[in-house]
Structure 1
Amino acid sequence: MSQPRLSIVIPAYNESARIENTLARVMHCVYARNWDAEVMVVNDGSSDDTAAIVERWMLDHPRLRLIQNPGNKGKGFSVRNGLLQAAGEIVMFTDADLSSPIEEAELLIAAIDKGADVAIGSRWLDPAKQTTHQPLYRRFFGRCFNAVTRLAMGLPFKDTQCGFKAFRWPAAQVIFRLQRIERWGFDPEILFIARKLKMKVVEVPVSWGHDERSRISYLKDGMKMLEEILEIRKNYLLGRYDEAIAKKSVPARETFTGKVRS
């Protein structure tokens, strides 16, 4: 297949209960809207039938690929592993639960087409677009974490954690080669990197519905993410987000020629 317009990356860990429905919705959308797209499921060391289900679907869907992580490495590792292997002019990732409907990808694509280097879905820019609200305690912890993240890292975005983000291919090649956080805290890290490299990041309101099967624990994982925020600051002070480091390993298909936008 020639270079596609869009690559859709879906990180998956023990998703056998819902990956079939996810693939049905994503592939239907790709065909119905005539997207020139590849779909890539990154299996993060699942112990269930996630990989087998994807492989079965691949028999009938040549646009579908399966990428296997070397064991369970975390969501951040999975997203990076997928996006760095993606071939699309625009590359994006979405959570396996499709809390933001895949059709909303058109909003991210439109933002990229208008000049953004990174387009991030936001649950909180327009609360009216939330179809199923989180329980109150999840909303409280989520807002608290976002406030701490914005303060500690200088990020202006209302929602850093929404698992629905798109990138120009050259921007993704640089950002994800500099990424170091491999679990839940990778979202603010990649936004921090993009901002430090003066890329244009646009926040886009998207429809979103809470899934009760969400695995994130705001107490346990929230504390870990706070530790990772400190690690991001340390990495920055040690010069580990230097643009030149990533430029050395960007594939020759497209060369990243410096800061995307000042």
Structure 2
Amino acid sequence: MPPQKATTSLAPEISIIIPVYNDAAHIGKSVEALMNFIQSENLNAEVLIINDGGRDATAKIVEEKLKKYQAIRFINRAKNLGKGASVREGIAASSGAAIIFTDADLPYGTKHFKEMIKLLRSGRTDLVIANRHLWSTWQVDQFGISAVRRFTHWGFGLLVRNLLRLEFSDTQAGLKGMSHKAAEAILPKLNINGFAFDLELLVEAEKAGLKIQEVPVILENAGQSNIKIARDSLRMLIDIIKIWLSY
């Protein structure tokens, strides 16, 4: 299904992209939180929700929100392709000069959006990435995260730094922002459909000479993840090798 167009008279300045997959448990609450943020900050913004072939009640919930809020646009894809494919589709359909994408459960809330939007509007940076591991947020962020996930993340980070030469201490936090101009420059070069999309995005951004800035974030919601450690770790490894080979 193509995205439902917002009926605002002016093109939105901000696009917030939310990829979803069987997220009925929290998408309704997340939409309300996003709309509260947009209204409280008096933003001209759109929210693009991309359903990645999920089979639960997510689509029904979003369709109800479409009736309530003109700022929401919905892409309801029948086939499951992956988070990366969803974010790319959302970026391609977006209209805002600044683009933010985050996870369906809003793991870092909306409080960091304002800073990210300010940075992107300033023109001092092209890409803003959340970092859970800066010293001021590290200990708080560990609450509720299993030892297995922490160990997996540590090993993953080691591989990324050595193979892809990315020096960022946190590449996978589910909150990033970029200017539309930057998105247009690198979107045609992005091909990874899965969770390694973030890595490909950063690699291509560095290759393009884009300015990247990290912002410290604190985890607010360590909800149920759609990531299956064994299966998705293998897929991530394969995708990392693909990115490395095209480096």
Q: TM-score, normalised by structure 2?
A: 0.91
| SS of equivalent to 2:89 | helix
* Residue matched to 2:128: 119
Task: Give the fraction of aligned pairs with identical amino acids, expressed as a percent.
Answer: 34
| SS of equivalent to 1:100 | coil
**Residue among 161, 175, 184 paired with 1:173:** 184
1:130 correspondence with 2:141 = yes
* Residue matched to 1:182: 193
Alpha-carbon contact 1:90-1:169 (below 8 Å) kept: yes
* Residue matched to 2:241: 230
| SS of equivalent to 2:245 | helix
Farther off after superposition, 153-162 or 205-214? 205-214
Within 1, Cα distance between the matches of 2:154 and 2:30?
28
**Residue among 120, 132, 155 paired with 1:144:** 155
Farther off after superposition, 169-178 or 71-80? 169-178
State the Cα distance separating 1:129 from its structure 2 match: 5.1
Within 1, Cα distance between the matches of 2:83 and 2:34?
19
Question: What do you get for the CA RMSD once the two structures are aligned?
Answer: 1.5
Within 2, Cα distance between the matches of 1:159 and 1:43?
26
Q: Which amino acid aligns with 1:179?
A: L
| SS of equivalent to 1:56 | helix
Q: Which amino acid aligns with 1:174?
A: A
Within 2, Cα distance between the matches of 1:69 and 1:140?
34
State the Cα distance separating 1:70 from its structure 2 match: 4.3
**Residue among 156, 170, 192 paired with 2:167:** 156
Gaps spanning 5+ residues in structure 2: where?
1-7
State the Cα distance separating 1:211 from its structure 2 match: 2.1
What do residues 23-63 of structure 1 show as CA deviations (whole Å, max 9, x unaligned)?
11111111122122101110111111211111111111000
Farther off after superposition, 93-102 or 26-35? 26-35
Q: 1:33-48 to 2 correspondence within 5 Å?
A: 33-48=41-56
1:98 correspondence with 2:101 = no
* Residue matched to 2:28: 20
Number of aligned residue pairs: 236
Alpha-carbon contact 1:9-1:92 (below 8 Å) kept: yes
CA 1:218–1:107: 2 relative to 1, 3 Å: farther
Farther off after superposition, 125-134 or 203-212? 125-134
Within 2, Cα distance between the matches of 1:219 and 1:209?
25
Alpha-carbon contact 2:105-2:223 (below 8 Å) kept: no
Alpha-carbon contact 1:123-1:159 (below 8 Å) kept: yes
Alpha-carbon contact 1:104-1:207 (below 8 Å) kept: no
| SS of equivalent to 1:166 | strand
Within 2, Cα distance between the matches of 1:129 and 1:86?
33
Gaps spanning 5+ residues in structure 1: where?
237-262
